[in-house]
Chains A and B, each alone.
Chain A
Amino acid sequence: MMKFRSTAWRSTPGLKESDVTAESDYLNRRRFLMSASALPLLGLTGGVNAGDSEFQAKAANAKTTHTVADEKLNSFEDITQYNNFYELGTGKTDPYKNAGALVTEPWSITVEGLCGKPGKYALEDILKPHGYEERIYRLRCVEAWSMVIPWLGFSLADLLARFEPSSDAKFVAFETLYDPKNPLPGQKRSVIDWPYREGLRMDEAMHPLSFMAVGLYGKPLPNQNGAPLRLVVPWKYGFKSIKSIVKIKFVEKMPSTSWNMMQASEYGFYSNVNPNVNHPRWSQARERRLGELFKRPTLMFNGYEKEVAGLYKGMDLKRYF
């Protein structure tokens, strides 16, 4: 388990709209990407300390590129002690309590399917070419609560592009860690048909808002939040943002996703936040922002309508929920 040291580097409080990535930083990152060579995992890259210092250097340079106007950040405690991460237990505080059971070092990610550079990549090689940015996003859970979280990471599109997905790849599927011989505490019962699976349509995955998080509040991602690498798709219900990713697969057909497999009538593949389409059992019109007593109205696409509505043009969102 990663340990946090309270050091001087922290996210800048009082973020402004002007705090966007400088063009030079952005170009630098592009150059990093271009030179990125995909090294297969040999288990000899970067020690723990090397990773730590690399993380700190990148976190220190991270600019805030997205923010949520006029909304307060949730506290680090709220974000890290109230989680849905069934691999570590189904109670909201279970993931925090059982966080130690998730071992994130060493970590590797298998890339499969319709792409030019499949293989098993060490986490260090996955992360190396990417500079980090901070993105403050709303997170809306399907259970009608929400938070505002300062994530640290990089664009999903930048990562996926490195694997050179072919034009036949219409979807990308993700999987969370599951070792049947050494299950995590929550995986000892088959609450879910493990491993946890999620997926996105390729254009959703390549959308500039789709994000790979490696940290929050300027610190490495705590295990209960999906260390070492998790997806963040802010306009979809939280369960789409799969945690502790070990597999990325480019596929032609819509992949199976865990909640959809369990109850297709309640959890669609898209699962876009939509106040007009209720969960069959409860309303999605309003939500409780953690830290607030009363409920507030839920925003279409969780407030990212302007950015993402185009992805679903012409689709009946009541049918493709």
Chain B
Amino acid sequence: MIRASGHVLGLLPAVYLVASAIIFGLGANPIEWLTRNTGKWALILLLASLAITPVVKRVAKIRLGPWPVNCKKLMPWRRLLGLYAFVYALAHFCIYLVFDLSFDFSFLWADIKDRPYITVGFLAFIILLSLALTSSNYSRKKLGRHWVTLHKSVYVADFLVLLHFFWLIKADFYRFWWYAAVYVVLMGLRYLPPKR
């Protein structure tokens, strides 16, 4: 049940994007629309995944209408939302590779080398890719305590994603600061002692 609702949460943005694409269209610049929206939802899901641990540690129970939910049960969402974030990031990267770079890997290398926002974005993508590949229970057992260290690098990936976003903005940082604030709070909660 919890697991299924995690899948629903992860797929909801895709459903929303497809629906709004059908209803409102992709606008004058469809590639930009696709790039921005896949990137945006990758970031949102990364932050959502980042939120699970502090919420579970601080809140024992929440009520969803008449149903009390033991927050510990939400723990599987951390991995699920992280994986879905990777799926959106993968779509984001593929759109860039196909439509911005016309599948030309020399362009990709030039961008990684010369464009800091691409450098950090690509680095974040590589981290997310390695986390996705090692996300199974089998890998977890196999890697032992290294697994935890490896998967803590998601904090770095999240930061790089924010930097990637920051370096693309020309003037209006309004939305960016909201995302950054959420990241800072969620990271801060990890280092502040829990109340209970």
Contact = CB atoms under 8 A, between A and B. Distances in A.
Interface stretch (B48-56, B68-76, B86-94, B168-176): B168-176
A92 B29 contact: yes
Nearest to A75: B28
B51 to A, nearest CB: 26
A77 B116 contact: no
Given A82-B28, A82-B29, A145-B29, A294 B171 contact: no
Contacts of A82: 27-29
A90 B29 contact: no
A262 interface: yes
A81 B31 contact: no
Q: DSSP class of A's interface residues: helix, strand, loop or mixed?
A: loop
A98 interface: no
Contacts of B170: 143
Nearest to B116: A281
Interface residues of B, number: 21
Interface size class of A (residues with CB under 8 A): 20 to 34
B28 A92 contact: yes
Contacts of A321: none
Interface in A192-238: 192
Interface string B4-18: 000000000000000
Contact of B99 (A78, A86, A283, A294): A294
Contacts of A192: 171
Given A293-B31, A293-B99, A294-B99, A282 B171 contact: no
A79 to B, nearest CB: 8
Contacts of B27: 81-82, 92-93
Contacts of A90: 171-172, 174
Contacts of A86: 171-172
Nearest to B111: A283
Nearest to A239: B170
Given A191-B171, A294-B102, A281 B29 contact: no
A281 B31 contact: no
B104 to A, nearest CB: 10
Contact of B32 (A74, A145, A262): A145
A10 interface: no
Given A92-B28, A293-B31, A282 B172 contact: no
B117 interface: yes
A81 B114 contact: no
B167 interface: yes
User: Which 4 interchain pairs have the tightest Cβ spacing?
Assistant: A82-B28, A90-B172, A78-B28, A191-B172
29 contacts: A77-B28, A78-B28, A81-B28, A82-B27, A86-B171, A86-B172, A90-B172, A92-B28, A145-B32, A189-B174, A191-B172, A191-B174, A262-B171, A278-B114, A281-B116, A281-B117, A281-B168, A282-B115, A283-B110, A283-B111, A283-B114, A288-B31, A288-B100, A290-B28, A291-B28, A293-B31, A294-B99, A294-B102, A295-B99
Given A86-B171, A90-B172, A92-B32, 11 more contacts: A81-B27, A82-B27, A86-B172, A92-B27, A262-B171, A281-B116, A281-B167, A288-B29, A294-B99, A295-B100, A295-B102
